Amino acid sequence: MSMTSLTHIPAFHAVMTKGSLSAAARHLRLAQPTVRRHVEALEDELGVTLFTRAANGLTPTAMAETLLPFAVSTLEEAAALNRAASARADVLEGVVRLTASRVAATHVLPPALAEIGRQAPGLRFELAATDVAENLVQRAADIALRFTPPQQQALVAARLADVEIGFFAAPDLICQRT
């Protein structure tokens, strides 16, 4: 793979995840013919067919499905490289990617991140609200807020405050013991 292939991977990834050239173009803020040229250039450089073309659009080939995880990994690594390059040891600035459950991302983190933002205005946060544990070792995120201990051995974990949970229901929904 040549270095120019790296410039074509975002178009391939966008077509795979968005489902069409037009949707990929909107997502990437590029013209649809530009996205098509990137996909075709990647196919030429790799010597494979990534999509079958028909009147109703593009259909991913088995090779496209095989290559998608590598494209995702490449894009994640490029984002991690950008985050690492944007960090300076003497200044709190740059992008910090956090992952948290949807509940924590919606109800717990916004006020905390707002306060951190006031104290360190050079920081920007990317928050991935997902109930799937992101792979921190592969730099899918810099920090994870989880309700379970990490399974990856290479991580540093710190326990935060306990969180109270309650179960609530309307009186007519409460199950009676028998």
Model pLDDT, residue 162: 75
Mean pLDDT of the region 57-85: 88
Bridge partners of 59?
52
Residue 163: left (phi > 0), alpha (psi -120 to 50), or beta? beta
More confident residue, 107 or 65: 65
Amino acid at 145: L
- Mean pLDDT in residue range 86-111: 81
Give pLDDT, residue 8.
94
Would you give the end-to-end CA distance of the chain in angstroms?
67
pLDDT band at 177 (very low <50, low <70, confident <90, very high): low
Bridge partner residues of 143 (DSSP): 98
| pLDDT value for 68 | 95
The conformation of residue 174, written as its DSSP 8-state character, comes to P
Q: Which residues, 6 or more positions from 81, have their beta carbon under 8 angstroms from its beta carbon? A: none
Mean pLDDT over 45-66 rounds to: 92
Whether the predicted pLDDT of 43 surpasses 90: yes
